Structure 1
Amino acid sequence: MRLLADHTPAPGERWIYSAGFNAGPALADTGRIDVELADLARLSDAGARIALLSHQGSAKDGTARHLDHLAEYLTRRLGRPVRYLPENTTARARAAARELSPGGITLFGNTRLDPGEERGDPELARTLAGLGDRVAIGGFSKAHRRHASNTGLLDHLPGWAAAGLVGEARALDPWAAGAGSGSVDGPSVAVLGGVKPEKTLIGLRGLTRTHHLVIPGGVVLNTLLAVTGHRIGRSELGSDPEGCARVAREVLARTGGAGIHLPRVVVAAGPDGALRHLPLDRGVPDDHAIVDFEVQPGAIELLRRAGRVLVAGTPGRHAEGNRHAAAAVLAARAHAPEGTLLLGGDTVAELPWAGPRSTGGGSALQYLVEGTCAVFEALAANAARTDPTAHRPDPAPAPARSRPR
């Protein structure tokens, strides 16, 4: 694939920069924004005209909102005005993109305000492509998404990979190799949490093959408990309960449950918010929901001895004060921060951790498990299609991703 770092921009070039800011008005963590600043400044300094696209929230649950707070932050950080136009598919938006002055930057409306974005609607992608002549793809946190403003744009315009996208992937390479090659001293442990289905569909399926122990929390844990016949009350099962349940059954059939931590005690919240520590074998009352759990002593000891630990998602509802499992994991790794990697924007923002971090959640999981992401495949196909004379060497064999059990 083509790298933006290898391209020398020229005055007047019309760029669409597909970023992955996904930061709310509080700007609690700006890592996903800051990683794009150098590329934006370089294009602007060279006189390129930049139509900036990004997302925040989701149309599916009504959390998508306008991005004027991002334009204000970008203006401060870049030291130049970044205009905000709260639309991206209208004639007004196309005119604004055409009228950008050399070096000018306009942030257009939240792509996820349109339901077609998350469906990868090809017509929406075609319309968005009218904002420029070439596209730079940033936002590693969305690298696994086949969305209209991500992979969809690459069906219409020549594309380049931005430095932040490439840098995040390269930073993950040692973790991918370490998980599968046996080159790391000590066992490897993965902690999975949160509510997104990829934690089960990608994480549980893949990391149970490459890690000695997987400690599930959040929807991953609730799904495993449900398919093994435990009563889980009104515990959250996420947006794809059937798909996650199918994968959980497949993993349990393959592993027999070996290498998967299931707690003996869960923390459940009642209808009044009161918390109860409940033995798992007694089940969770119908009006309670699992919000946390107690990590078993054997798992704590393995965490202490582990050569590598991945934490992909908070294992309990950390933002609501349910921190038993997270505190136990982080305390067990306090002596080895360099061997512990946190994945995902919410995880990084919520957990008190100063060690290695990646803003990618589902994208980092996909990259670690499969060795690629949807946007890298789309960028490679785009380069082959739009630059057929470029020399591309034969692909090297993929690195081993599994450890014999």
Structure 2
Amino acid sequence: MKKLTLDAVNVQGKRVLIRVDFNVPLTHNDDTNRPTVADDTRIRAALPTIRHVLDKGGKAILISHLGRPGGSPDPDLSLAAVADHLDTLIEERVRFSSNTTGDAVQEAIDGMGNGCVILLENTRFDPGEKANSDDFADGLAALADIYVNDAFGAAHRAHASTAGVAARVQPAVMGRLMEKEVKILTQVRDNPESPMVAILGGAKVSDKMGTVRRLAENASHILVGGAMTYTFMKAMGHDVGGSLVEEDRLQQAKTLADEASSVLHLPQDHVYAASIEDNTPAGVAEGDIPEGQLGLDIGPATVKAYADYIAEAETIIWNGPMGVFETEAFAQGTLAIAEAVAEATDNGAFSVVGGGDSVSALNVSGKADRISHVSTGGGAMLQLLEGASLPGIDALTDADV
């Protein structure tokens, strides 16, 4: 079912509660000892929605989570620093409330003129956020005439600020970023230009089983990397040394590998070491992993084979690193894939990349601007590609089509 978008509502003079994704990395300024925003990519992604509401004369009330404060206030995870940064990106002064619901917030909003913006404190400071409690959702709903969800990265969470409040405020619509993400990811999932190549990495095969099964319907190749490789390998009877394996998923992995055998590719070789901490690869193994060693990255033969598949693609989907990307010695496979995807995009392929480590690899390698679409969601991207339910989208108002 299609959902209403921002263009379907008149925000003039209305209180517009916008769920944004300002879950951004913070750093401390040595001069002021105050936290500052280290990467504002997600903040900038929300600007089209915020500016639309301001330009059309609505009151923009922004809510977001930041980090994992555990349901109680944490000064290190306050959104105050984000409000300061947002103030530098838009013409209108950004107000900040140290509360998220209640009379003080109501008074602050009532005192705002049309075309003004306020950012409320971290929603996860209240335990009712993750619990999707009625009280917290009611408190948020009391602030709004219109609800806009523009936080695609949180759309797979049934929290009070995503699903709960949307069920209480009508209309509840998609923002510009949410609309763009849904349109692009649905298109590459259901009607990709062929050949389509999907690159899936990361730690857990359990997170991606549904995605593999759905993408196998249209993909020419699914290229597997990361620790999820070793669950597949062990399930298929290979030795994986001490590599990370989801023992409780072996039978499911074997079934999935058999079902998708015509398109699923596992690494031909692996960079291995006795431990991550050594920071020094012990060698490259073709096939099985030696006893006592850990598979930590794809090897050079795999990089070449995967790059060849990517070069032939018209559509590319990438989610998840090829190795332990956080450690330089085991980041080379991921960086090589980033280069291959960027080159294919330069040559006309449509590429979509999502997931924190994959996007980090693009940023580190300086190739993010050579990708067709960099998704702001990791888990949400996977669930949408799988065709699974996303509570933050399901709760929005249906469009009459």
With the shorter chain as reference, the TM-score category is 0.7 to 0.9
Q: Which of 46, 49, 56 is the equivalent residue of 2:59?
A: 49
Task: State the 1:308 CA deviation.
Answer: 2.0
The question of whether the paired residues in 2 share the 8 Å contact of 1:236 and 1:289 is answered with no
Q: Which of 317, 331, 336 is the equivalent residue of 1:323?
A: 331
Task: State the 1:356 CA deviation.
Answer: 0.9
Task: Could you tell me which runs of 5 or more consecutive residues in structure 2 were left unpaired when the two chains were aligned.
Answer: 28-36
Residue 319 of structure 2 is aligned to residue 312 of structure 1? yes
Letter in structure 1 aligned against 2:100:
N
Q: Distance in 2 between matches of 1:374 and 1:92?
A: 29
Residue 26 of structure 2 is aligned to residue 31 of structure 1? no
- Show CA shifts across 1:304-346 (max 9, x none): 2222221112222334323332233244445421315232252
The question of whether the paired residues in 1 share the 8 Å contact of 2:353 and 2:371 is answered with no
Report what 2:184 is aligned to. Answer: 171
1:84/1:247 Cα in 2 relative to 1: closer, same or farther (>3 Å)? farther
Helix, strand or coil at the partner of 1:209: coil
1:253/1:367 Cα in 2 relative to 1: closer, same or farther (>3 Å)? same
Residue 243 of structure 2 is aligned to residue 224 of structure 1? no
The question of whether the paired residues in 1 share the 8 Å contact of 2:138 and 2:165 is answered with yes
Q: Distance in 1 between matches of 2:124 and 2:340?
A: 39
**1:93-242 → structure 2 map (5 Å cutoff):** 93-158=105-170, 159-179=172-192, 183-184=193-194, 187-195=195-203, 199-228=207-236, 230-231=239-240, 233=242, 235=244, 242=248
Report what 2:372 is aligned to. Answer: 356
Q: Distance in 2 between matches of 1:116 and 1:250?
A: 39
**1:202-351 → structure 2 map (5 Å cutoff):** 202-228=210-236, 230-231=239-240, 233=242, 235=244, 242=248, 247-255=252-260, 257-269=261-273, 270=275, 271-279=277-285, 281-283=287-289, 289-294=294-299, 296=302, 297-321=304-328, 322-337=330-345, 338-344=348-354, 346=356, 347-351=358-362
User: In angstroms, what is the RMSD of aligned CA positions?
Assistant: 3.3
Report what 2:89 is aligned to. Answer: 77
Q: Distance in 1 between matches of 2:312 and 2:66?
A: 38
Helix, strand or coil at the partner of 1:215: strand
The question of whether the paired residues in 2 share the 8 Å contact of 1:192 and 1:217 is answered with yes
Q: Distance in 2 between matches of 1:53 and 1:142?
A: 12
Letter in structure 2 aligned against 1:8:
N
The alignment's TM-score, normalised by the length of structure 1, stands at 0.78
Q: Distance in 2 between matches of 1:232 and 1:123?
A: 50
Q: Distance in 1 between matches of 2:398 and 2:116?
A: 27
The question of whether the paired residues in 2 share the 8 Å contact of 1:193 and 1:217 is answered with yes
The question of whether the paired residues in 2 share the 8 Å contact of 1:98 and 1:131 is answered with no
1:133/1:7 Cα in 2 relative to 1: closer, same or farther (>3 Å)? closer
Q: Distance in 2 between matches of 1:207 and 1:131?
A: 41
- Show CA shifts across 1:201-250 (max 9, x none): 4422322332122122234324323544543526386xxx85x6575344
Task: State the 1:200 CA deviation.
Answer: 1.3
Q: Distance in 2 between matches of 1:226 and 1:102?
A: 60
Helix, strand or coil at the partner of 1:16: strand
The question of whether the paired residues in 2 share the 8 Å contact of 1:343 and 1:364 is answered with no
Report what 1:8 is aligned to. Answer: 10
Report what 1:17 is aligned to. Answer: 18
The question of whether the paired residues in 2 share the 8 Å contact of 1:28 and 1:349 is answered with no
1:236/1:319 Cα in 2 relative to 1: closer, same or farther (>3 Å)? farther
Q: Distance in 2 between matches of 1:193 and 1:115?
A: 32
Helix, strand or coil at the partner of 1:309: strand
The alignment's TM-score, normalised by the length of structure 2, stands at 0.79
Q: Distance in 1 between matches of 2:122 and 2:352?
A: 27
Task: State the 1:121 CA deviation.
Answer: 3.9
The question of whether the paired residues in 2 share the 8 Å contact of 1:15 and 1:49 is answered with yes
Q: Distance in 1 between matches of 2:205 and 2:142?
A: 33
Letter in structure 2 aligned against 1:260:
L
The question of whether the paired residues in 2 share the 8 Å contact of 1:32 and 1:139 is answered with no
Residue 366 of structure 2 is aligned to residue 365 of structure 1? no
Task: Could you tell me which runs of 5 or more consecutive residues in structure 1 were left unpaired when the two chains were aligned.
Answer: 385-391, 394-405
Q: Distance in 2 between matches of 1:94 and 1:201?
A: 45
1:211/1:277 Cα in 2 relative to 1: closer, same or farther (>3 Å)? farther
Q: Distance in 1 between matches of 2:12 and 2:62?
A: 18
In the alignment of these two chains, the number of paired residues is 372
The question of whether the paired residues in 2 share the 8 Å contact of 1:168 and 1:358 is answered with no
Letter in structure 1 aligned against 2:384:
Y
Structure 1 window deviating more from structure 2 (289-298 vs 145-154): it is 289-298
